[in-house]
Chains A and B, each alone.
Chain A
Amino acid sequence: MTVVRVGLLVIYAVSSYVLSRYLRDHLPSSSHTFVPAWMRSWRALVWVWGPTLWFFPGILWIGVLELPALQILLLSVCLPLTCYVVFMLAGGLFPLSSSASASDKQTSIVTVVVVALVTGYSLLNALLTPELSLIRFAVFVATVLSPPMLSIASLLQWISEVVPVGRHQERPVRRALMMLFGFFSTFPKTTWVVEDGTVHTRVEGNQFAGAGPGWLMTEPENTVILKAGPKVTRVAGPGVALTKRAESPFKIIDLRNQMRTTQINAITRDGIEVSVSVSSLFRVNRGYGEIILDESWPYRHQRDIFGVAFSEEVDPTGKSPLEANTAYPWGDLPLQIAAHRMEQAISFYSLDQLYSGITDPIGALDEGDPQFQLLKIHRQVEKALGLPRAEGLGDPLTRTTIGKLVERAVRQALEPRGFEILSGGIGDKITPLNQDVTAKRVEAWKSRFILKVMDWQAKMQRRRFAKLEDLRQSARDTMLDSMIKEIQKYVGAADEGAWRDYVAYHLLDDLIRMARNPDVQEMLPESALPTLEGIYAQVRGEEEFQDR
């Protein structure tokens, strides 16, 4: 018998090792056939603890304990099994809850009662055996029960470390146990993880069991709308959420700041087509919530999440028939509204006005001010976009004012639907589509530039000419003045013959002056000037004589 016992021990060790090695590489797979709920629990029990071959330590007592071998075998099987069943019952792992079907409940109860009865009967039968040593029986029972007890204790000890069920969950250990045993029941609970904004199914649920209940974890910045069949149920996350029966993720909403930009073409009131970059910065309405560590990423209300998600619009334009019914993502909506509002706004302005602005907001209120017209147009746009009158519209750039007006229009349209518009407007320069327009503006600039340069040159020239003319005038005046004086001096001469000498006298005078020029004098003989002066004196003498 001892040899048999040793052989059994060896078989126990070897078979458990082989079984363990085999199961190591074989994960439980989802059942392809329908299995009743009560049977799933038993399957889970067998999958979890079956490989421990829990009856072996008991059968080693055959021949030691004063009981028949069959009875020892029965006790070795039933006592640990009862232990496991009790644990599973306490953990709610048998379908006995109100949500379970009546047949599942009944069958579960029957199977559990059968196990209990068999165990009770075996125990009673053993205890009533007269030759049974009680101390040996007690040690036997301890031998049979301590491994399952240790196993259950370990499971309870670590389950919450391994299976995260998230915070704020009622009875987290029980929920974790349900997840774990669900996985081994071949009817696993569906497990979803949101990564990079998309739902990934980690553990596929059984097709017969439907979607929920299951486990869902989002990233800190995402929240998920859950749906049970055709009915939208609630918003889950951020964080870990346990889904209820039939619930599955429907849509992920990113709670982070969103930015969208697009390029649109618009026409100014003077018919120039311009390209405008429209941008919109928004997010799901956060209310007064702030992002704090170990707290959920804030959003104002579940209603805002639904509002945002169900604002998606279907537009088949430009799509293939297969995609025609696909809705545009909610994130496209602010930009779509902004684009149309932008087109409307720009049509109020001329191209020149788009590049101008109000540099003096107070002065612009005066009707005589050239900026008044621009301010008036701003007001017209404000009214056309259906906006209430705002205090100040005087920005140094028209582009900025248009951006603000469009932002207000988008806010007015989308804030009731759960959006929080952070900013928006024209994100880049406004460019005329036709290159000729820019070329013309450049030409205009060139003309202005040339005009300025010419103006400047002409001003300089005018100044020079004026100065020269002043000098000439002055010289002319001096010369004429001296001539007139000289002539007047001689006009009074009585004798007619004196006119001949008059000319000679003047000619000589000129010659003397010419000779006195230092440059000329240098080149003349020394006697030249005295000779001229002598002749001059002679002619002058005659003249005086004639005068006399």
Chain B
Amino acid sequence: MRLRGLLMALTVVVILVAFAGFVLLALWEQPGQLPSVSELVTYFVLVIGLAVALYLGFQRVVRVFVQYVQAFHDLSLDEAEGLVNRLLYSSRHPGSMGVLLRVQAGQVDLDGPAVVHKVGGPAFLNVDHDSVVVTSRLGYLHRVLGPGGHPLEPFERVWDVVDLRPQRRTVVVDFMTRDGIPASCQATIVCSIAGPESVTVGLEHKTHNAAYLDYADDAILQVSTSKFVKRVDSGYRVNDWVVGMSGALESVIRDTLEQYTLDEFLNPQYWLEEDEGRPRSAAAPKLVSELEEAIERDIKAVGRERGVSVIRVEMGTVRPAEEAISRQWLEFWQAKLQKRVDRYAMQAEVTRAELAVFARVEVRVDFLNRVLERLQSLHGQGIDIPGELVVSTITEVLQTMHRRGSETERALYPSMEKVESLARAVKIIQADEDVDALDDVGSEQAPSLTVDED
């Protein structure tokens, strides 16, 4: 275009020079004759008149273009003049464009020249290191422009901007467990445009290495053109590729988690058994890390189909939505706490039991001392002690102690039953009853002072 403009200007100059020469010849056909002042003025008037006419003829065309462009693209007069000038005279040099549009951080500078947004080039497009631009020209997708400076062709517009930086989105996935309990899980996806090694579609694998943010043209075109138009209340909204990946992640997580019951995610009983070193009767809950691995694998496959590289997926824990569940777990936790309290109580009981044993020993010593007190004097005098006396002495001591209270009895005999059976036995002996009666006692409960081993 620049060349054409130069040619046009050259043509005008040539016409003018030629015309000046021919007018000279036409006015002074006789060589050697000097022109008068009047003739010189006429000469210059004719030449200037032609120059003005040429300028007006040329300028009128430009003005016609300006007026047409102004109406055609709905521009202001200044914008239209600028556009026509660029269309007619600009070269590919940034300086000659006069209009610069910046693209950075994944978006076009909205404060940039309106005419470039509306009509497009010629203009100079400056794409920052973190962005890639897809352009359109007259209803066709035209080029994929990576980081750097690019002259935009006439009517070439920015159609889409793709951010090369890794994108992170966090979603809360609501789902129903297999046993019908509403639950949720928070997850994060980090993804970016697929590099050349990840692209599996397309014919041409034109790749670039823009500093550390690598990309493939095919992947850019794919993510740009695979957006979904969604109807919302106020009209339509276009979901970009990151929203698409978040949606895919949500779907994969829901499809995975809904295959399990709530207890398979969170099972306090299992961990209680684990803590107490008991054999595990409860099912082992699913570890989030295991699920995360499977989900990441699935979402990476989805990403490959869409020209997106999934860098990582992070999952939080599964939380039941219902308050009742949490309350139940609280109750379980309370029960666990109660168990500890019970353990303390049992320990106190043991201490008490130990004291009781000690008391029992004391009572026994007292009992033995009393029996010995009575029998020792006779034995010391060398008198033979008959069995009958032994029995009556013991019975007497027992009766004496019996009057002291139930504690003594319990200390000596584990149960009153035994005391009673012993008393009956003594009575039998004293009354010299029939041997058969003793058989009955023996069969019922052997008279014994045997105490618990403890």
Contact = CB atoms under 8 A, between A and B. Distances in A.
Interface of A: 1-2, 5-6, 9, 12-13, 16, 20, 23-25, 27-28, 48-49, 51-54, 56-57, 60-61, 63-64, 133, 135-136, 138-139, 142-143, 146-148, 150-151, 153-155, 157-158, 161-164, 166-167, 180, 183-184, 188, 191, 197, 200, 202-203, 217-221, 237-240, 254, 256-261, 281, 291, 293-297, 331-332, 351-352, 355-357, 359, 396-397, 399-400, 427-432, 438-439, 441-446, 448-450, 452-453, 456, 459-460, 479, 483, 487, 496, 499-508, 510-511, 513-515, 517, 519-520, 523-525, 527-528, 531-532, 534-535, 538-539, 542-543
B356 interface: no
Interface in B365-419: 365, 368-369, 371-372, 375-376, 379, 384-388, 390-391, 394
B387 A505 contact: yes
A425 B58 CA distance: 64
A499 B60 contact: no
B180 interface: yes
A543 B26 CA distance: 181
Contacts of A499: 429, 435, 438
A519 B354 CA distance: 13
B180 A441 contact: yes
Contacts of B52: 9, 12-13, 16, 56-57
A504 B369 contact: no
A56 B51 CA distance: 12
Contact of A51 (B60, B181, B278, B361): B60
A259 B221 contact: no
Interface stretch (B104-112, B188-196, B223-231): B223-231
B449 interface: yes
A49 B58 CA distance: 10
A332 B230 CA distance: 11
Interface in B163-197: 174-182
B176 A507 contact: no
A51 B64 CA distance: 11
A51 B259 CA distance: 80
Given A146-B50, A445-B262, A535 B375 contact: yes
Nearest to B236: A197
B211 interface: no
A101 to B, nearest CB: 26
Nearest to B154: A161
B434 to A, nearest CB: 9
A431 B182 contact: yes
B259 A240 contact: no
30 contacts: A16-B56, A24-B63, A27-B71, A48-B64, A60-B49, A135-B22, A138-B22, A143-B50, A151-B58, A161-B87, A162-B69, A184-B64, A202-B71, A203-B71, A219-B136, A258-B228, A260-B231, A261-B230, A293-B221, A331-B231, A441-B179, A441-B180, A499-B429, A500-B429, A506-B448, A507-B447, A520-B361, A520-B365, A539-B390, A543-B387
Contacts of B435: 496, 499
Contacts of A442: 181, 322, 324-325
What is the predominant secondary structure among interface residues of chain B facing chain A? helix
A430 B176 contact: yes
A54 B449 contact: no
B326 to A, nearest CB: 10
A257 B449 contact: no
Contact of A453 (B25, B77, B335): B335
Nearest to A261: B230
Contacts of A63: 42
B59 interface: yes
Given A64-B27, A442-B325, 18 more contacts: A1-B38, A6-B41, A24-B63, A54-B57, A151-B57, A166-B138, A191-B72, A219-B139, A220-B136, A221-B225, A239-B138, A254-B229, A399-B258, A439-B324, A503-B391, A517-B364, A532-B372, A534-B379
B234 interface: no
B353 interface: no
A26 B290 CA distance: 73
Interface size class of B (residues with CB under 8 A): 35 or more
B49 A148 contact: no
Given A57-B49, A499-B438, A535 B60 contact: no
Interchain residue pairs A-B with the least CB separation, the first 9: A504-B387, A239-B139, A151-B57, A147-B57, A501-B387, A147-B53, A510-B449, A259-B228, A57-B53
Contact of B56 (A147, A431, A517): A147
Contact of B139 (A12, A240, A510): A240
Nearest to A216: B139
A135 B238 CA distance: 71
A25 B77 contact: yes
Interface in B39-53: 41-42, 45-46, 48-50, 52-53
A133 B26 CA distance: 8
B328 A446 contact: yes
Given A5-B45, A260-B230, A523-B362, A238 B368 contact: no
A301 to B, nearest CB: 19
Contacts of B61: 151, 154-155, 158
Given A151-B61, A217-B139, A519-B361, A2 B227 contact: no
Contacts of A295: 140-141
